[in-house]
């Protein structure tokens, strides 16, 4: 999204960033290869678990992470620069999706964070919890009321450290609802620190088009509806990104019972024995990334916990002989646990940049284009952790639903979990955003990103070979259902209505590129299919179902069906995709998972 030149610039200054975490870089630094728990993946969920499980000084934990340290990586710390971390960098897994039939046969990058903190170190910092309707559906589908919001809301207090004071010192009392938040947790969450030139126009639009874009004081989720438009909340505190690494890991880093090994890839899980007819997997095979060293085996006395994410978790399961027997047979992998659901049910949110030329000044386009401007801004951030670089590049976002009288609902049930949960999202941004097309050399732009949230298309993640360093085959099957293309069409119409508000009349807003030529529904559909990509929120590839169900991959306690000593704790277990950005729900998932694991150990 940002230019390669900008990425080079911020990399050139990375050594001046403070260190957030001490880690081990060689297996020779480990005094033992036997621990109570082995966590695979030092991402959003993995480091949350590592912190909570090692609160007991008698419990030992090893975390194995394929990626690198976040220490000294400015784009992983400076909020505005987050988008420069992906794609095609050392901090990204650099995955691509297979050709997408619903997107005119296009293939494109599919970023995932490959560093401490995982995607919480590389995402766009947006923080929500999911709606109570999302969580209540999880509770219903799994048969475990513990996943319902009544129980899950307690983890907001444990997880979130909301900061209401902003850099510009404004009164924020009408920008969030305190009762929805935690103030003494681990991860810092805050509102935008400084105003942007388009902010007043956005707020005016909520007053001028209240039926389309009503103002909503708090969009974090929970029991409060997130329909409407309001202030963005980001994982930022003190002008720096707050990730699972800079919060959960940093707060546990001095514990002698916690070891975090980076630059090592888990190649597969090894069966340790059979217990009560179930195969136990407490041995983990790993090697230096990218496979330059010997194969090593670590042993878990209690459990192995997969927190490798929705793409790597099913890959590791399949390489270990846990998966679809037909798929495994193609590679002559012995089938230890036959489960056709491993790697299926992949769901994701769809991202569409609707770009407009604007005559108004004050966009971020020149800041991003001109090295002297961005260099000065980075310099301010280095000196004082203030200014544009200390903040997210977004101040507002909003959520909407397909009208209930839309003909699609005559043939398709509403896929959202309830009326407080949206079908699509709109994110007004003050500059050019298009992951597939470089920023023009001149001009000012307004990009209204719209995103499909209640997706019904379901895809797969499958291994490409028996080589753990081969990237998996990722097929989200984007926009392959009638509802999904209908909702995206409605989002484009919504974006066009948004800029028709009187607030934008003197801003010279003109649709740019292919958006300028759309007129019919068919035009919009073709436009969507030609331009949309992913917003990088994959879930569902190790779905959680009732313990009695043969569907799904994990039970409500997150244990892998048909196994002993093996759990999955990451976004892959969500049976449906949340109606919000996913990092917050993953944090809450991991907090409850830690309590479940502790309870089982006791």
Bridge partners of 452?
350, 424
Q: Do 393 and 80 form a contact (C-beta atoms < 8 A)?
A: yes
DSSP 200: H
Give the separation between CA 148 and CA 132, rounded to whole angstroms. 7
Strand order in the sheet with 187-191: 160-163, 187-191, 233-234
With CA atoms as reference, report the closest residue to 257 among 37, 47, 57, 50: 57
Give the separation between CA 174 and CA 180, rounded to whole angstroms. 13
CA 493 to chain centre: 26
Tokens of residue 469, six digits: 């360093």
Give the separation between CA 68 and CA 113, rounded to whole angstroms. 10
Between strands 273-275 and 264-270, the pairing is unpaired
Give the separation between CA 345 and CA 541, rounded to whole angstroms. 5
Give the separation between CA 50 and CA 39, rounded to whole angstroms. 8
Q: Do 321 and 315 form a contact (C-beta atoms < 8 A)?
A: no
Helix (H/G/I), strand (E/B), else coil: 353: strand
Tokens of residue 30, six digits: 């480990």
- Residues with active-site annotation: 537, 581
Give the separation between CA 152 and CA 555, rounded to whole angstroms. 17
For residue 546, which phi and psi values (nearest 5 degrees)? -60, 150
What would the 3-class secondary structure string for 385-437 be?
Answer: CCCHHHCCCCCEEEEECCCCCCHHHHCCCCCCCCCCCCCEEEEEECCCCCCCC
Q: 266 among the known binding-site residues?
A: yes
With CA atoms as reference, report the closest residue to 422 among 398, 448, 447: 398
For residue 536, which phi and psi values (nearest 5 degrees)? 70, 55
**Exposed, middle or buried by CB within 10 Å (0-12, 13-18, 19+), for 122?**
buried
With CA atoms as reference, report the closest residue to 82 among 128, 45, 117: 117
Q: Measuring CA to CA, how many Å separate 592 from each of 568, 570, 586?
A: 13, 12, 10
Give the separation between CA 316 and CA 321, rounded to whole angstroms. 9
Bridge partners of 475?
460
DSSP 552: S
With CA atoms as reference, report the closest residue to 345 among 438, 232, 459: 459
Give the separation between CA 447 and CA 499, rounded to whole angstroms. 11
Helix (H/G/I), strand (E/B), else coil: 70: coil
Tokens of residue 389, six digits: 């670089």
DSSP 370: -
Tokens of residue 325, six digits: 């027997």
> Which residues are known binding-site members for FAD?
266
């Amino acid at each position: 999204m940002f230019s390669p030149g900008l990425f080079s610039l911020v990399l050139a200054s990375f050594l001046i960033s403070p260190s957030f975490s001490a880690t081990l870089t060689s297996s020779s630094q480990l005094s033992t290869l036997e621990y109570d728990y082995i966590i695979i993946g030092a991402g959003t969920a993995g480091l949350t678990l590592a912190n909570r499980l090692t609160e007991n000084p008698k419990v030992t934990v090893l975390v194995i992470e394929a990626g690198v340290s976040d220490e000294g990586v400015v784009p992983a710390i400076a909020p505005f620069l987050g988008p420069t971390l992906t794609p095609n960098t050392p901090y990204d897994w650099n995955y691509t999706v297979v050709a997408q039939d619903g997107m005119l046969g296009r293939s494109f990058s599919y970023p995932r964070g490959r560093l401490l903190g995982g995607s919480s170190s590389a995402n766009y910092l947006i923080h929500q919890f999911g709606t109570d309707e999302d969580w209540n559906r999880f509770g219903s589908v799994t048969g475990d009321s513990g996943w319902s919001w009544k129980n899950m809301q307690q983890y907001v207090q444990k997880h979130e450290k909301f900061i209401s004071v902003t850099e510009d010192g404004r009164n924020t009392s009408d920008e969030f609802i305190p009762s929805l938040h935690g103030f003494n947790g681990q991860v810092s969450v805050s509102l935008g620190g400084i105003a942007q030139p388009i902010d007043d126009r956005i707020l005016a639009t909520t007053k001028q088009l209240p039926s389309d874009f009503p103002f909503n004081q708090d969009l974090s989720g929970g029991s409060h509806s997130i329909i409407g438009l309001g202030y963005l909340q980001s994982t930022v505190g003190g002008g720096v990104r707050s990730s699972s690494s800079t919060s959960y890991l940093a707060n546990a880093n001095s514990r002698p019972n916690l070891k975090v090994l980076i630059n090592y890839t888990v190649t597969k899980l090894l069966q340790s024995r059979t217990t009560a007819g179930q195969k136990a997997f407490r041995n983990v095979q790993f090697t230096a990334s990218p496979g330059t060293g010997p194969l090593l085996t670590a042993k878990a006395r209690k459990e192995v916990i997969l927190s490798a994410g929705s793409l790597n978790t099913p890959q590791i399961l399949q390489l270990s002989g846990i998966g679809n027997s037909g798929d495994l047979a193609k590679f002559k992998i012995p089938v230890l646990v036959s489960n056709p659901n491993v790697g299926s049910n992949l769901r994701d949110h769809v991202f569409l940049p609707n770009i407009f030329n604007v005559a108004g000044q004050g966009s971020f386009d020149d800041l991003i284009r001109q090295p002297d401007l961005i260099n000065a801004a980075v310099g301010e951030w280095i000196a004082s952790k203030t200014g544009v670089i200390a903040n997210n590049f977004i101040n507002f976002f909003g959520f909407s639903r397909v009208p209930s009288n839309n003909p699609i609902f005559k043939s398709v049930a509403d896929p959202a979990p309830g009326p407080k949960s949206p079908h699509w999202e709109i994110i007004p941004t003050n500059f050019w955003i298009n992951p597939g097309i470089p920023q023009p050399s001149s001009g000012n732009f307004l990009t209204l990103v719209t995103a499909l949230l209640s997706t019904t298309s379901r895809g797969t993640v499958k291994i490409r070979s028996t080589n753990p360093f081969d990237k998996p085959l990722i097929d989200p099957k984007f926009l392959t259902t009638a509802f999904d293309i209908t909702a995206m069409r409605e989002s484009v119409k919504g974006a066009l209505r948004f800029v028709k508000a009187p607030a934008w009349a003197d801003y010279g807003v003109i649709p740019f590129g292919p958006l300028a030529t759309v007129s019919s529904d068919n035009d919009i559909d073709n436009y969507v299919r030609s331009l949309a990509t992913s917003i990088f929120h994959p879930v569902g590839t190790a779905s959680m179902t009732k313990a009695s169900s043969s569907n799904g991959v994990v039970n409500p306690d997150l244990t892998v069906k048909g196994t002993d000593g093996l759990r999955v704790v990451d976004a892959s277990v969500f049976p449906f995709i949340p109606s919000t950005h996913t990092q917050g729900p993953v944090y809450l998932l991991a907090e409850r998972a830690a309590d479940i694991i502790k309870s089982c150990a006791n």
